[in-house]
Amino acid sequence: MDFAVYCGSKYVHVCSIRTEFGQNVAREYLKFFEFERMSLDEGLRQFLSCFMLTGESQERERIMAHFSDRYFMANPDLFPNAGIYTTLHTQEPHFNISRGKFSLG
């Protein structure tokens, strides 16, 4: 984690670039974070404590997507499906889920 704090501001811009190199740097950088058994807000606070999230909203979204992927990999049993919660924002019937399936348990 110390390395992540030290180098965070150096890597955040590269991680937000939509290239294969940027994706690889982001994946490797996030391996320094141990999100296992952490609540979502604890993990997010730890992640964002390493650098200032600046830039355009698209760059911020890419950084947060990398965080989401890593957090989900570290806590696979926390959410039954990584994309399930985005289904609440669609009106298409085949994407809607029941209230019981949405429960976090």
> Would you state the pLDDT for residue 58?
85
Locate the domains of the chain by residue range: 2-74, 78-105
> Would you state the pLDDT for residue 2?
53
In this predicted model, what pLDDT tens digit does every residue of 79-95 receive, in sequence order? 766 555 555 555 555 55
The Cα–Cα gap between 29 and 25 comes to 6
Work out the angle at residue 11's Cα, subtended by the Cα atoms of residues 72 and 56, and round it to the nearest 5 degrees. Answer: 80
- Catalytic residue (choose from 20, 28, 42, 56): 56
The CA-atom distances, in angstroms, between 87 and each of 9, 19, 43, 61, 81 are 33, 28, 23, 18, 11
- Flag whether pLDDT at 102 surpasses 90: no
In this predicted model, what pLDDT tens digit does every residue of 43-67 receive, in sequence order? 999 988 887 787 788 888 888 888 9
Is pTM beyond 0.95 here? no
CB contact at 8 A, 66 and 30: yes
> Would you state the pLDDT for residue 99?
61
Query: Which residue in the block uniquely carries the two structure tokens 């809607």?
Result: 96
Query: What stretch of H or E contains 15?
Result: helix 2-15
Look up 42 and say whether it is catalytic: no
- Flag whether pLDDT at 12 surpasses 80: no
Comparing 76 with 104, which gets the higher pLDDT? 76
